[in-house]
Amino acid sequence: MLWVWKSVRSLRQLELHRLILALIIFSLLSMCFLAYYVSSSPKIKEAPPLPFSDCRVGGGPEGGQRAPPLVPLQAGQRRFVKAVDTSRTDPMVLVFVESQYSQLGQEIVAMLESSRFKYRTEIAPGKGDMPMLTERGRGRYALVIYENVLKYVNLDAWNRELLDKYCADFGVGMIGFFKANENSLLSAQLKGFPLFLHSNLGLRDYRINPAAPLLYVTRANEVEQGPLPGDDWTVFQSNHSTYEPVLLASTKSSEALAQVNEHQAQHATVVQDLGLHDGIQRVFFGNNLAFWLHKLVFIDAIAHLTGRRLCLPLDRYLLVDIDDIFVGKEGTRMKVEDVKALLETQNDLRAHVPNFTFNLGFSGKFFHTGTDEEDQGDDLLLSYVEEFWWFPHMWSHMQPHLFHNQTVLAEQMMLNRKFATEHGIPTNMGYAVAPHHSGVYPVHVQLYEAWKNVWGIKVTSTEEYPHLKPARYRRGFIHSGISVLPRQTCGLFTHTIFYNEYPGSPKELDKIINGGELFLTVLLNPISIFMTHLSNYGNDRLGLYTFKNLIKFIQSWTNLKLQTLPPIQLAQRYFQIFPEERDPLWQDPCEDKRHKDIWSKEKTCDRFPKLLIIGPQKTGTTALYLFLGMHPDLTSNYPSKETFEEIQFFNGNNYHKGIDWYMEYFPTPSNASSDFYFEKSANYFDSELAGKRAAALLPKAKILTILINPADRAYSWYQHQRAHDDPVALKYTFHEVITARPDAPVKLRILQNRCLVPGWYATHIERWLKYYHSNQILVLDGQLLRTEPAFVMEKVQKFLALTNITNYHKILAFDPKKGFWCQLVEGGKTKCLGKSKGRKYPEMDSDSRAFMQDYYREHNIELSKLLHKSGQSLPTWLREELQNTR
């Protein structure tokens, strides 16, 4: 036995020696590999295939679907980039900024807004301030952006773990910026990451790594030669395989800095974290967004980290309008050689932009009003009439909003049409532009009607909707059958004629083209209609210079597919991409000086109401409307043939008739300082759109709403429908209506919703509070209005800040036959509401009452919290309901 034990012991010692030897060999090989990796510069690797997901429309740079990306390693291995699961998060970006006014934070927001991406900003938390990240099992955000990445890495342990767990569990990526300053360490490790930062460097010769998986719009075959602006750049170094450089640059100085590997010719200024370290994909920027290439990569980073949910397609549609083709002072117009250059450039650009065609706007009255050479240019232009697209301005270049008579306006258009016919100019493009955008927005009804009648116009464009600035907010809309597209400026104006005299220096124009405002306009807008002028195509021909260089720059640095469509097709494409913009949002013309200048002088904003009674229905709104009309300083709207005392403008089809239609329901003010108009439409209260629309047109208006017990309101609506012979209300009992199941007949469910949904008082008031300040909204107790109307009206008068206070005790009287308060007239008689008001009906049955009390319990609790928060007093009925729930 002893011999056997010694043999086994010898065998175990031999195996142990072999294991130790194997570990030593493995360690030596690992050290050699690590030394090689650390000493090597980041390699420019073979470009991986694009992700299989794509933007809203269109394919990848070469069309078709792609496989998930594989990123080649230096050692011949391959890394999978973890696919982004987009099904569990909302397409919203959470942006942590340093302050409300921080510059980089504002630039980030501007890029998101320009791209029409939804976002929410928060001041970067230190401790205990992390916003709610999930709701009902779904992630609220698809991407997190930190203006200062140090705010992220220095989070307290609880918040850091909470945010990282959210990002890992929901597949949420992160973008972080590091902007060095004089207090930044020259070299440091990013806390919690195998990543080193080297700061306050001067760099030059920027290039793009074609192997970076996030590249989509960005094209990687160009080098930005020369020094980069500033000496505050940060570069990243790491020996971990999770990091892939995106942008690389060389140091300005030939002397190697101690903290940067002297063997590296290129240093990563933007790196992509593939998520191999902790399961979270990130992109880190070693500077802010001031440099144009960072903006381009930033857009790609958003697209990649959100699985292309927040992403624009690669297709870009350009239309270049040349306004006033015959309008211009002598010396600023096109001559023969300029016209030839225009046609030659158009043909050249068609090689890069399919179907590219200049769109020429004309006012025939100014034909042949230049020098002899310029008139010859006019003649040559008309000899090429079939080579271009054409659209009409006004005959004499007058602003349409100055014409109040539609017939006179149409006569001016007919002169221009006659000129077009005589000179062979096509008249069927269906597109027109008003001089100075007059009458397009704010809408001048006469212009739209005359356009349709004379020219058959279907499309126009303006830079004024909803406002000129900021340009990123410009949108389109459809009104009266005419599509209105957003128009963009391009840095060229009527006075920019000579290159060397460009405002600020010629470098400013080149900056706008090469990565600046003009480039960003195309990058961030699928469709761009550019406004240029005749004078930009004579003399130094800055229009041709601008668009030739812009297209060259775009195709050098991006994978964008440029093309041109005629205006009608362009409008169809625009509203396919942005269908939510079809409906306009009317603004108050007097809140924007430019709008007021191009709005008819016969119109006045004093004709708009200053007070809205928004409902809900069956709470006493008609009585309040009557009581307000009794005040000498308050004037109600004219009645409607269809909806009686209600206009119902903000919540339905009437809204599309425009603000001119709305104003017709109010008198022309005799004294703007004292006239106080109001209107009542009880279905505004629970409308999804009414609050937003009302606040856009009437931002300073006061809002009145009346609340009664929601159960009583629902029962009153049911009885109202029965009185009007609604077959559903006649067929089903109230209890059957309110307890109907989801699979009940559609008409029954509709009646159920109209009974129950308006009673979600907190939900609807909260929606209105998104658009109006709480001090603009007064919540009235409907029960008190019924029993003590004079007391309520005193409260209303104080809320409206009326100087002339009326004593309603003297002008109201209770009518025992009607059972409510009425207007007191001469002889002690009363003038009451019609027979349909104060209708008697059976009491609600106990089962329905119990059901309703339970149904509205949580809604009423939320209402009490909301009213308390906004400083409103609780209605008596609500106090009673809350006491019953205890």
Bond into 51 cis (ω within 30): no
Q: From CA 403, how far away is CA 399, in angstroms rounded?
A: 8
Burial of 868 (0-12, 13-18, 19+ CB in 10 A): exposed
- Residue owning tokens 């309901």: 881
Query: Do residues 134 and 140 lie in contact, with contact meaning Cβ atoms separated by under 8 Å?
Result: yes
Q: What is the length of the chain?
A: 886
Query: Do residues 245 and 271 lie in contact, with contact meaning Cβ atoms separated by under 8 Å?
Result: yes
Q: From CA 390, how far away is CA 361, in angstroms rounded?
A: 6
3-state helix, strand, coil in the chain (%, to 5): 40, 20, 45
Report DSSP letters for 855-867, one per residue. Answer: HTHHHHHHHHHHH
Task: Look up residue 745 and give its amino acid.
Answer: P
Of 116, 119, 110, 169, nearest in space to 141 by CA: 119
Q: From CA 451, how far away is CA 406, in angstroms rounded?
A: 10
Q: Which helix (H) or strand (E) is 386 found in, with range? A: none
Question: Three-state DSSP class for 223?
Answer: strand
Q: From CA 146, how far away is CA 105, in angstroms rounded?
A: 9
Write the CA distances from 248 to 75, 244, 298, 628, 799, integer angstroms: 21, 11, 15, 70, 62
Torsion of CA 30, 36, 41, 45, to 10 degrees: -70
Cα–Cα–Cα angle for 636, 639, 644, nearest 5°?
Answer: 120
Q: Which helix (H) or strand (E) is 300 found in, with range? A: helix 292-305
Of 683, 688, 691, nearest in space to 720 by CA: 683
- Residue owning tokens 């909470």: 162
Of 524, 529, 432, nearest in space to 473 by CA: 524
Of 95, 139, 147, 132, nearest in space to 117 by CA: 95
Q: From CA 512, how far away is CA 515, in angstroms rounded?
A: 7
User: Any idea which residues carry the catalytic annotation?
Assistant: 618
List Cβ neighbours of 821 (8 Å cut-off, separation of 6 or more): 623, 786, 789, 812, 813, 814, 815
Q: From CA 145, how far away is CA 122, in angstroms rounded?
A: 10
Residue 662 Cα to chain centre, angstroms? 27
Write the CA distances from 661 to 621, 666, 700, integer angstroms: 24, 10, 20
> Between 336-349 and 542-557, two packed helices, what is the crossing angle to 10 degrees?
10
List Cβ neighbours of 852 (8 Å cut-off, separation of 6 or more): 710, 711, 714, 715, 738, 844
Of 518, 434, 528, nearest in space to 476 by CA: 528
Instruction: Encode burial over 344-353: b for 16+ CB neighbours within 10 A, e otherwise.
Output: ebbeebeeeb
Write the CA distances from 549 to 54, 345, 514, 555, 556, integer angstroms: 29, 11, 8, 10, 10
Q: From CA 150, how far away is CA 876, in angstroms rounded?
A: 53
Of 511, 122, 522, nearest in space to 299 by CA: 522
434: left (phi over 0), alpha (psi -120 to 50) or beta: beta
Bridge-based pairing of strands 561-563 and 315-323 is: parallel
Which tokens go with 327? 């309008």
